């Protein structure tokens, strides 16, 4: 297990201060609609288009209404299994373009190809569009010959909600559970009660509860957060696969990670919770210069590989 309980690296301290000074103030005032959302989507997607290492394979794929991008790092093989990745972005931004480098790193660390689902985003496509797309992608994976025992699901932020929601949907639909699930800084409680309280006590340098609330309204404008497919923390977790949850110690949504780990364990399942001191929301995305992110992804890769090959 990586040494998460250490003093944050100088790189992570600088990153945290940068986000606190420049990103969080913008997030507090941002809107998930109109020109602001279009600009955000374009900026985030552009940031994800850094060159990939040589011999990395990336190609778009479509299976009926299910669309996405496959990412296969050198040495990874679909003969072993695959990871279905559900990207974050508050349900309103993010895409296979923005997350392709992170997907590459997960593929390299796990030895598994990663399918980045291009799910429908709010506000153009409100709930349950994204959740339905995640379930459809899992069904397609089974239909294409991947047994559930060779599949893993992963997601960050709002993608963590879609990941947990998919596990709950599989139980409701009577479908087999995957071998494992990996959640990075998952946003699970769409009501945000604990998030607001934690942010008032210690300001999150990155994630804005105000913006998250706007995203929730864009995603589910006419559905209460107590809806069975939105209240993932309250879902029946009996029979869920082993889960790994990684979260930064500065995050206002830290409590979400603790609550899902506890509820999975209480249901008789296996949950590994890693709280990384001093790290920001989805710190794994900054593995180019954060040593903590590199260590976290190496552990996650081993977790996913071992769950599928054991």
The backbone torsions φ and ψ at residue 66, rounded to the nearest 5 degrees and listed phi first, read -90, 120
Rg of the chain (C-alpha set): 18
How far is residue 279's CA from residue 31's CA, in Å, rounded to a whole number?
Answer: 25
State yes or no: is 161 an active-site residue. Answer: no
Active-site residue, selected from the candidate residues 99, 161, 281, 305: 281
Assign residue 174 a region: left if phi > 0, alpha if psi is -120 to 50, beta otherwise? left
DSSP letter, residue 96: T
Active-site residue, selected from the candidate residues 99, 184, 251, 305: 251
How far is residue 49's CA from residue 212's CA, in Å, rounded to a whole number?
Answer: 25
Contact 189, 118 (CB under 8 A): no
State yes or no: is 184 an active-site residue. Answer: no
Helix/strand/coil for 59: strand
Helices 158-173 and 129-143: crossing angle in degrees, nearest 10, is 60
**In 101-221, beta strands by DSSP E:** 114-117, 151-156, 180-184
How far is residue 239's CA from residue 167's CA, in Å, rounded to a whole number?
Answer: 9
Active-site residue, selected from the candidate residues 12, 98, 141, 157: 157
State yes or no: is 281 an active-site residue. Answer: yes
Residues annotated as catalytic (active site), given as ranges: 157, 251, 281
């Amino acid at each position: 297990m990586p040494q998460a309980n250490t003093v944050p690296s100088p790189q992570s301290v600088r990153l945290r201060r940068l986000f606190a000074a420049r990103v969080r103030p913008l997030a507090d005032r941002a809107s998930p609609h109109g020109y602001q959302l279009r600009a955000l989507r374009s900026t985030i997607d552009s940031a994800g288009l850094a060159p990939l290492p040589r011999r990395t394979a990336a190609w778009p794929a479509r299976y009926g209404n299910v669309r996405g991008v496959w990412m296969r790092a050198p040495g990874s093989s679909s003969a072993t299994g695959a990871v279905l990745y559900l990207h974050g972005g508050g349900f309103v931004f993010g895409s296979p373009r923005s997350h392709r480098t992170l997907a590459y790193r997960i593929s390299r660390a796990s030895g598994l190809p990663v399918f980045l689902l291009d799910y429908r985003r709010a506000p153009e496509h409100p709930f349950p569009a994204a959740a339905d797309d995640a379930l459809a992608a899992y069904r397609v994976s089974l239909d294409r010959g991947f047994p559930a025992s060779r599949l893993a699901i992963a997601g960050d932020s709002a993608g963590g909600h879609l990941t947990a929601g998919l596990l709950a949907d599989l139980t409701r639909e009577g479908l087999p559970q995957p071998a494992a699930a990996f959640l990075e800084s998952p946003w699970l409680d769409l009501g945000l009660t604990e998030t607001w309280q934690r942010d008032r006590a210690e300001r999150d340098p990155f994630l804005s509860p105000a913006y998250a609330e706007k995203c929730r309204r864009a995603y589910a404008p006419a559905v209460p957060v107590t809806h069975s497919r939105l209240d993932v923390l309250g879902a029946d977790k009996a029979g869920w696969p082993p889960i790994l949850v990684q979260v930064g110690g500065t995050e206002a949504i830290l409590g979400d990670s603790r609550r899902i780990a506890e509820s999975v364990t209480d249901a008789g399942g296996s949950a590994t919770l890693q709280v990384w001191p001093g790290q920001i929301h989805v710190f794994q995305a900054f593995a180019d210069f954060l040593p903590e992110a590199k260590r976290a992804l190496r552990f996650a890769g081993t977790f996913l590989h071992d769950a599928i090959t054991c």
